[in-house]
Every structure is written in structure tokens, then in C-alpha cells.
Amino acid sequence: MTAPTHSIVWDTGHLGRTEAAVLHAARDIRVEDRPLPPLGVRDVLVEMKSGGICGSDMHYFADGQNGTNVLQKPTVLGHEAAGVIIASGEESALEPGTAVVIEPSLPCGTCATCLSGHSNVCPNGRCFGSPPTDGLFARHTVVPASSVHVLPDAIPAEIGAAVEPLAVAVWAVERAQVEPGHRVLVTGAGPIGLLVVQVLAARGVREIVVTDVNDARLAVAAGLGATDAVNTATQHLAAAGFDCLIECSGVTRALADGILALRPAARAVVVGQAKAAVDGIPLGFLQRYEIDLVTAFRYNNAFPTAIELAASGKVDLRSIITSTYPLSDVAAALEAPVSDPSNLKVLIRY
């Protein structure tokens, strides 16, 4: 077995230790020595190679909460991660040296929701990096073997963390029920929106219009398959009659205006993080034209498709990666998308 780059004190069935980024309170994150759990028979020990900064991580860091979930105790952040297996439990078929991406959702697997095929919305589920469940911003972590997906050689583990947001985009497009001949409006040209554009283009969608208020991001969208890019801060969205809206910004006005640009019997999908309650959604318009308003939460069986799209080159993961930081600078990494709006996906390298 290849020795890990950073040594750890570890032995099967006993606690080892490693460095991890622990959030103690809003704006108080510390890289600390933390214990590793025992390696179970169905677990793998992963040496991390990349971790992605998500909007939820930024909310926890800035505010001590994300939506209604509030930090109650020191918790390791991070749910976008890839690395290399350096040890496997006795009942895991995965060999040391295997590059993997970690799927962070941890459904219970036994409730009626899980058994009906909707494990992504399991009411008893947990997620790595969602307090109080410790996350993946650590040099090493022990996870269930069932939570990892093998990365092909075409996707280096050093960028493999970006597969997780790609899985979000894949699931959003699945929820949208998009067909190749459709005209699709994508609101928000952040990392998810740009990945949605690429997934749509890979599916042969004939018209993809992207809106945002950031010209630099819109320029990236145009280079990734968008047929039109509109800055709604300076331009009016003249196009209408879209078959589908995929809302990726989390901005209520973008959702409302996007709905009004749909044809009758169209479909609107909310992907960007929604507030607990919102005003201004044209419910009467939705009803009058029987427009389906649906939501997308994380993903359901989307990682294999995401990996295939990235490995084949149909989606370029590097196109959304704009900066990298070492684990020791995790606070700067969490602030980077705010301090420099040109940033898209920020990665932690180990």
C-alpha cells in the first residue's frame, strides 16, 4: 500500500487522528487535530485530494447557520470531496490506491421514503458537513464504501470534488424533464448554472438562454454552450415561450420573471437555495397556464451520469474551477467567492 502524503496514527479498529477544518462559530474556523473513527468492515479510509467550497459552507461560516439548520457544536465543514483510498474494511471490495469521489448524503435506507426510491429526501437522512454531522474538509476521513464512486483516469482526484455539484446539475435537468428540442431558460450563471448549461448542451438542447447580473459569468456561459446570455441588470429578457426554466440563483425575482417567460404547460425547477417562504411568485399565472413548479434537492442516482459526462469531456469540470487554497487557508477559501466575484468554484487542495 502506498504511504499517505501526510502520516497519520491509524490502525484497523482503533482511533487515529488527522487535520480537519472545524467551525466553532460564525467566522471562527480552525484547522485542528481531530480523531478518526474506527475503520468498519464496510468502510474505506480516504486521503483527500480536493474539496469544493459550496454556498452552504459559506453560509455556515458567515452566519453559523444555513437556512433553518443552526450550528450547535464544533463541526467539520465540507461535503464536496474526492481523494484516494488508502485502506479498506474487510468487506469492502475497493482496493487501496483507488481514486474516488464521495457522495455526501447519508439516507437512513429503511424508511418508506428511501424504500420508495426517494432517498435524497429521506426525513431521517444526514449529510456530511451539515451540522451536527462532521464533514469532509480533512486530510483523511473514514466513510462507508457505499458512499464513494470510483473516478476514472480521465477525472483526476485533484479536481474530483467538482463531480458533486455536477451531480446537482444532472439531477436538476432530470427534474426538468428536458428534451433535445426544448428551449430552456437558466437563471443564474454560478457554478451550478454553468454546469446545468453544459448538461443541457450534452443532451442536445437547441436553445439555452442564461441570465445573470455578472457579465464575466455570462461570458463563461456563452463559451460553454449557452446560445444567448442576458444581463438582467442592464437588459430586458425579450425572449419568451420557453419550455423549461431551471432557476439556479436563489433570487426570488429571477424565479418570478422566469416563470412569466414560460409557455403554457411548461415546467419550472427551483435549484438555487430557496428561502423558507417567499412572496411575489405568480401563482395565478402558474395555475392559469398549468405550469408545473417543482424543486430539486441534491440528487438521486446522479453521480454515475455526472462521472460519465465529465470523463467523456461533454462537461468540462475545469471550466468552473477558478482558484485553489490549501487546507490551512480554509477561511480565505470560504471568503473568496465574496471577496472576488470573478470566482466560481473554489477548491481546497491537500
Helix 303-312 to helix 191-202 angle (10° resolution) is: 80
Q: Which of 332, 302, 241 is nearest to 101 (CA)?
A: 302
> CB within 8 A of 256, min separation 6: which ones?
280, 281, 282
Measured from the Cβ of residue 220, the count of other Cβ atoms closer than 10 Å reads 23
pLDDT for the residue numbered 205: 97
User: DSSP state, 327?
Assistant: G
CA–CA–CA angle 122, 149, 145 (5° rounding): 70
- Going by pLDDT thresholds of 50, 70 and 90, the confidence category of residue 88 is very high
How far is it, in rounded angstroms, from Cα 70 to Cα 58? 13
Look up residue 140 and give its three cell numbers: 483523511
Sheet of 207-212: strand order equals 228-231, 207-212, 183-187, 242-247, 262-270, 292-295
> CB within 8 A of 246, min separation 6: which ones?
172, 173, 176, 184, 185, 186, 187, 193, 196, 269, 271
Per-residue pLDDT tens digits for 158-199? 999 999 999 999 999 999 999 999 999 999 999 999 999 999
Per-residue pLDDT tens digits for 282-321? 999 999 999 999 999 999 999 999 999 999 999 999 999 9
pLDDT for the residue numbered 82: 98
pLDDT for the residue numbered 275: 82
Per-residue pLDDT tens digits for 128-167? 999 999 999 999 999 999 999 999 999 999 999 999 999 9
pLDDT for the residue numbered 12: 46
What residue ranges define each of the domains in the chain, with the CATH number in brackets? 16-150+316-349 (3.90.180.10), 166-295 (3.40.50.720)
pLDDT for the residue numbered 161: 98
Please tell me the number of Cα atoms within 13 Å of 170 on its side-chain side: 20
Look up residue 307 and give its three cell numbers: 462521472
Per-residue pLDDT tens digits for 11-64? 544 458 999 999 999 999 999 999 999 999 999 999 999 999 999 999 999 999
Using a cut of 0.85, tell me whether the model's pTM lies above it.
Answer: yes
Residue 73 has pLDDT above 70, yes or no: yes
Look up residue 5 and give its three cell numbers: 502524503
Mean pLDDT of the chain: 95
CA–CA–CA angle 106, 112, 113 (5° rounding): 50
